[in-house]
Each structure stands twice: as structure tokens, then as C-alpha cells.
Structure 1
């Protein structure tokens, strides 16, 4: 089993009087991670328990504000995992009651979609909790398990099939089946319930349009026109898809020049296997016309994973002038801007955009390609 980097960080945060919440899309390994933490803590002599909140019995017993009944149900354990905790009504208030009344019981709550769990948990647990976001395997986790040489040999596979735990390392046939299963059965489950929608065709069509525009600026008006939806409706669905850890947005940087793109957004996928399943394109890279977009998406999401595990949260952007010069990805931190351009091909000399360097003091722009990608995503 590939060890998740988050496990060590989460274990270092235990028994400090705070609820630990683990968010992530379905099938990214939240249950596996929480059970690994339980086993580790059991081996250290702690009394631990696992509760599946999709069970009606567990759900009913936890939906009370009677602290004595809660304590009676939880028992004499030092660490309790509440898996899929978003199924518990008013879960945030119940977690607040538990941490305030029984601070010696460490609670770990997992949730498959942030719009269900964090909306209920966020405000009640202000100052009482720590949040962790779990994504598909990162290249850092994979490199720690197999080494950089073997991982580099699987780079094309990562661009085609992504890194969901149940997908990575299996045959291409099995990978396609699993990704189609996730995209068909699990991807929209929370949104359909939240929006009371019975048909996922609309969300599927929206995601297909986004998938075909990875690396380009996305027009909500244009998407709305194609789908027959108002721009505000498109924005709401994109918000929900982002909160379900399917896609994420990157805004434009614009501060000094009139010719800078200001209000545009780019949209990327948290996993390229899901993106490719949506458009049913698992072809090898030598016969694809979207390799540049795949490479850009891959580098940015792997950098995000790196930053998340380090608890490093810079402001992030892309930059472009109407006349063409652009920077694919920018991190703003410590009063400086660090820009990156992503090129899958390694030919030609790279020159940073002159207008960007001249306009923003203390800025840099570096090239990320298959020869040095690990420095960008791992170091």
C-alpha cells in the first residue's frame, strides 16, 4: 500500500483538543487513510474505533445533542473515526459539542464533498478543528514508494490515466474500466443529491466542455449558450463541481497594464484520468493533439498537492496580454511573483515574457518540461 504523506501530518495533529476533518472526492482513499491512522495509533497503545456514518444505526445514534447519549455510544475510546460524516444532520454542531464536552476524545471526521461537510462544520468548529484535503496520489507519494526512475517511466501513464488509488498501477484495461466507473457513478452523486437533480446529463455535458478547454480561458457565457443555460447557472454548477474536488479554477493576474487579461479564468481537473474518461480519450501521447494541455494540467495539480502537504498556500494565477505573451502559472508569496511556463517538448530556447518581468519587480519565470518537472512538483 502506498503511504499517504498526510498520515504523518495528521498524526502529529492528534490529541490537541481539535477535531480533524479530512475532505476529498469519492474514491481518493479517505477511508483507507483513516483506517491506516487507526492501526498506527492502535499499535501505539491507543484505544481506537471506526464508525461508518452511512450506516443508519450509526447515523441515528449520533444525531443527538444529548452529550451523555453521545458519550455512551462512542464508548471509552481515545480516537474515533467518523467516516462519511456529512451523512449526520447538523454534524458541525455535534462535533462542536463533542470537542467542548469531551476534549480527551480525538475525533477524525471524513467527508466526500466539501459543500456538504464544510458548510455544516466550518462555522461551528472555528478554532476547534484542523482541515486536511486528500487528493489522488501525488508524485511525491509515488516517488517515495517506487523511486524517481520508475516514476519517470510512468509519466505518460499519469497523463493518460491519472493517479486515483484504484487506478494507478493496474492494467490499461482495468484503469479505463475503473475511471469510467468513477466518472459514471460517483462523480456527480453529491451534486445530484444537493441540487435535487435526477439526471446527470447536464453536468456531464458541462464537464465535457470544460475538459476540451483545459489550458484555455473559459467563457461562462459561451458554455451557457451551448448548454442553453444562464451564465449564473453555469457558474453555480462550476462552484459545486469545484467543491466536489473534480475541477479547480485559476484566475488571471492583472494589476498594472491595461492590456492584461483581467476577468478570465482557466479551469483544470484534479485528476487527468477523470478528464480523459469524460471525453473518452485514453490514446497514447504520440497521437494526441492535447498533450500541451495535459502537461499544463498535470504540472499545476501536482504543484498544488505539493503545496497542500506543506501547508503552503500562495496566491495563484495565470497571466496574459491581449497581444499574446503569457505565463501559465504564477505563485505570489513573500512580496514576489514566481512564474512558470509548461512545455512538454524540450526543443528551443526559453525566453521569459519581457513585459511580465519588466512590469512586476522581483518576478521570475522558469520553464518546466519533462527534464525538470520533478524539481517543480517535489522539491
Structure 2
């Protein structure tokens, strides 16, 4: 910490402070003097951009990644507990039961943050909307259908989803639609950034309930995608992550766009590997090659514990996701 600096927490509650800091920084432009933090992203980035443009760097602190969770003294040891507890720091550094902390978090988020930002009159409808979004994590986003199910207008659904995104509860994984053919689906997928919060919103109250839950595959997919997303964001990179689907049925869960090529990843929550898991990867790889693109790297992430190799496909167990380069 700078010897003559200061830390300002919850700075979104004191927007006038930024103007004073601008004057101070202009007079003494020493890097690292002030650290500004806020639990709300709403409006904070705009305020910083207006008052401190060119004078401040912005870091988005997402829920902890698997690699970060494992740095605590007693990290979860198995997949189901990892998914259930998620990556919010207080659960791990204070040993607070995940269900209790997440229940308090959701209540605080809805009653304080959302009321301040959206002026939502019907908090019950918003709570229903959030849970409906959780039920669609890992699925293609259809805002009209989502709004209809929640009993709200399309524009309201769009505005409410934007709030969930700016508060880092979820994000849209865009469809990759290079000029391959006219059959590509362009709708994004919705993914929650924290599997623990996702489990809570889905009514999962202990890890064992995940074993046979109908949405276990979607929860695992969102967890893997969010891990890759966090790797790129925490490295200061603009995420280049997508999903791929064409109307004739070919679908790949995760596509990373890289300089000169791509990485294709299928995600399966089962503890064993079946031969048909590789078919979408190989079909899309062949399609890319026929279009003159470089042969992509192929990966399968699964819910088992053993790293394997199948000629052209690297098989990554869930526990080694954090160790791979993405």
C-alpha cells in the first residue's frame, strides 16, 4: 500500500468523492495511491469512466475459481461438494455453510441492490425471474419465452437480465457464427458464474441431491464454462469464448477463439467416458478444416478423475480444469 494512499470501500455510495480524487490524482499522478472498491457494479464503471478516465485501472472480481478455492485450508474434495459450495470467498475463509450464506446473499441482493438500481416494485416477480434464469443456465437464451414464463414484458426481461449480468451473477456465452453456412444458430447461451448460487436458486440444499438431479449436466456445464471465463478475465484478457450450434443438430459446448485457430471443448458431467462424446468435436473439426481453417485443438472435460487421451482428443477430468491452459 502506498504510504500516503487510502482505500475507499463501497465507493458507489459516494459518487462526489470521484471528483475530488480526480483533482488529487492530477496534482500528484503517482500510481497506486488510491484503491476504490465497490460491491455494486451498477453505475460505478460509468462514474469512474467520467471522472477518472485515463487515471484508473478497473478489475472485475468474479467469484473464486477452482484454483483459488483450493488455496484455503479445507477446500471441497469431490465434484458434487465443489459444485454445491461454489466460489464466494466468505463460504471458504469463514467456514460458513454455503446454504446459509447464499440465502442471506440472495435476500440482501434483491432487497438492497435491485431496489436501488431498478426501483422494482414487485420484488417477488423479480425473485421468480432470477430463479427462472437459474433453470435456464446452460441453455440457449430466449428472452421472449423467459419473460412470458415470468409474467413480464420482453423489455422488462431484457432490463432485469442486464442487472444480473452487471452484478456478475450470470453472463451470455455468444454463439460462434463464422461464415461457415447459413444454418448456424446465433442465440447466446445463459450461464451462471457461480455454481453454488445456481444450486441454491434451483432448490438444491445439500451436495448429495446433485447426484441424480435432472439439471446436473447443465450445472456442470455452466461450472466448466465459468471456470474458463474466469481464467481469461482474471488474466486481463477479453474473453473469446463461444458455443457452437447449427440447426441440423451439430453442437459443441465451448469454443475458444485463438490466434490462428480454435479450441473445441465438449462437457459431460458423467464419471465415465463414452465413445459418442467425441463425435461433435470431430464433426466440427472436419467442418472447420473443409473451410480452410486450421485444425482445432480438441478437449473433453468430464466428471471423472482420470486424465486420458484418445488420439486427437485430450480428456480432462474435472479436478484438472484449473491446471490447463485456456
TM-score, scaled to structure 1? 0.73
Match of 1:319 in 2: 244
Within-5 A mapping of 1:1-379: 41=1, 47=3, 78-104=4-30, 106-145=33-72, 151=75, 153-168=77-92, 174-187=97-110, 189-255=112-178, 256-262=180-186, 264-283=187-206, 284=208, 285-345=210-270, 346-349=272-275, 350-353=277-280, 354-360=282-288, 361-362=293-294, 363-370=296-303, 371=305, 372-379=317-324
Q: Give the Cα–Cα distance (whole angstroms) in 2 for the partners of residues 154 and 329 of structure 1.
A: 23
| Deviations 1:35-79, CA, capped at 9 Å, x for gaps | xxxxxx4xxxx53xxxxxxxxxxxxxxxxxxxxxxxxxxxxxx22
Q: Secondary structure at the match of 2:15?
A: coil
Q: Give the Cα–Cα distance (whole angstroms) in 1 for the partners of residues 191 and 115 of structure 2.
A: 21
Given that 1:90 and 1:120 are in contact with CA atoms closer than 8 Å, whether structure 2 keeps it comes out as: no
Question: 5+ unaligned residues in a row in structure 1: which ranges?
Answer: 1-40, 48-77
CA spacing shift, 1:188–1:270, aligned 2, 3 Å: farther
Deviation at 1:133, TM superposition (A): 1.4
CA spacing shift, 1:334–1:184, aligned 2, 3 Å: same
| Deviations 1:270-300, CA, capped at 9 Å, x for gaps | 2122122223223422231111111111111
Question: 5+ unaligned residues in a row in structure 2: which ranges?
Answer: 306-316
TM-score, scaled to structure 2? 0.84
| Deviations 1:137-164, CA, capped at 9 Å, x for gaps | 2211133445xxx757243112112121
Given that 1:306 and 1:378 are in contact with CA atoms closer than 8 Å, whether structure 2 keeps it comes out as: no
| Deviations 1:327-377, CA, capped at 9 Å, x for gaps | 111111213221211111123123252442133322233101133234433
Q: Give the Cα–Cα distance (whole angstroms) in 1 for the partners of residues 19 and 267 of structure 2.
A: 45
| Deviations 1:167-225, CA, capped at 9 Å, x for gaps | 237778x3211111111123552222012224421221111111111111121011122
Given that 1:204 and 1:278 are in contact with CA atoms closer than 8 Å, whether structure 2 keeps it comes out as: no
Cα RMSD (Å): 2.3
Q: Give the Cα–Cα distance (whole angstroms) in 2 for the partners of residues 202 and 108 of structure 1.
A: 37
Given that 2:110 and 2:123 are in contact with CA atoms closer than 8 Å, whether structure 1 keeps it comes out as: no
Given that 2:144 and 2:154 are in contact with CA atoms closer than 8 Å, whether structure 1 keeps it comes out as: yes
Given that 2:76 and 2:82 are in contact with CA atoms closer than 8 Å, whether structure 1 keeps it comes out as: no
CA spacing shift, 1:224–1:138, aligned 2, 3 Å: same
Match of 2:312 in 1: none
Q: Give the Cα–Cα distance (whole angstroms) in 1 for the partners of residues 144 and 244 of structure 2.
A: 21
User: What number of residue pairs does the alignment pair up?
Assistant: 300
CA spacing shift, 1:358–1:91, aligned 2, 3 Å: farther
Deviation at 1:307, TM superposition (A): 1.9
